[in-house]
């Protein structure tokens, strides 16, 4: 029931965004990126519970991300800046504990930004979007298929996305994002027996990613 309500709220907000930014006038890009999350609280949690990630950079947790971002070049007629928005989904690569618990740590985040600006609208081959919105999702710890814990995440976020065009369709994309988790930091047992004493933490990382994109509208 909670998930259904949350999804309904998301679609309501996205519909409101669509009304303020005309799809017919907006340039929309789809991107696929990979990145790492820099978060001291998560590194402490990982060290306590013997999770050692195979990371793209040092010992920070790795994620893959798909995203949609838009710029409405017909907006703010009297201003140099143009409005923009974004929607992203991140999947964090699972990491297994190096002890005998056989536990696995992973997670996901869905994010959307309803306010934003393209700071370089007059430069044809570069876009610099700065947007603000929310991330929602969870971190998970599982033991086989029998035990599952969740730490829910609800976090305001600010995102900066740099896009360098390669021809009319393709682009190189880099994204830096900061979120502030305002949810309860405790782990909730969702399935099975309560076998683990998991350390509470709020998930407020800096997320850095890079990859490729292409214009779909």
Q: What is the CATH number of the domain that holds 65?
A: 2.40.160.20
Specify which residues 163 forms β-bridges with. 127, 173
- Quick: pLDDT tens for 153-212: 999 999 999 999 998 889 999 999 999 999 999 999 999 999 999 999 999 999 999 999
Host domain of residue 105? 2-215
- Quick: pLDDT tens for 47-95: 999 998 888 888 899 999 999 888 776 666 666 566 777 899 999 999 9
Model pTM? 0.83
C-alpha closest to that of 153 among 181, 180, 134: 181
How many folded domains does the chain comprise?
1
- Quick: pLDDT tens for 98-116: 888 889 999 999 998 888 8
């Amino acid at each position: 029931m909670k998930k259904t309500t949350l999804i309904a709220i998301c679609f309501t907000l996205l519909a409101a965004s669509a009304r303020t930014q005309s799809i017919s006038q907006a340039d929309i890009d789809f991107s696929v990126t990979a990145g790492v999350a820099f978060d001291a609280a998560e590194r402490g949690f990982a060290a306590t519970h013997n999770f050692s990630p195979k990371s793209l950079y040092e010992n920070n947790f790795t994620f893959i991300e798909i995203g949609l971002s838009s710029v409405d070049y017909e907006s703010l007629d009297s201003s140099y800046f143009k409005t923009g928005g974004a929607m992203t989904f991140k999947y964090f690569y699972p990491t297994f504990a190096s002890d005998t618990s056989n536990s696995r740590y992973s997670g996901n985040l869905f994010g959307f930004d309803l306010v934003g600006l393209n700071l370089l609208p007059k430069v044809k081959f570069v876009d610099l979007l700065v947007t603000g919105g929310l991330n929602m999702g969870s971190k998970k710890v599982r033991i086989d298929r029998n035990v599952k814990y969740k730490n829910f995440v609800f976090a305001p976020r600010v995102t900066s996305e740099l896009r360098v065009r390669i021809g009319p369709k393709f682009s190189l994309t880099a994204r830096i994002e900061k979120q502030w988790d305002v949810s309860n930091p405790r782990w909730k047992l969702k399935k099975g027996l309560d076998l683990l004493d998991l350390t509470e933490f709020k998930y407020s990382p800096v997320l850095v990613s890079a990859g490729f994109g292409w214009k779909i509208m």
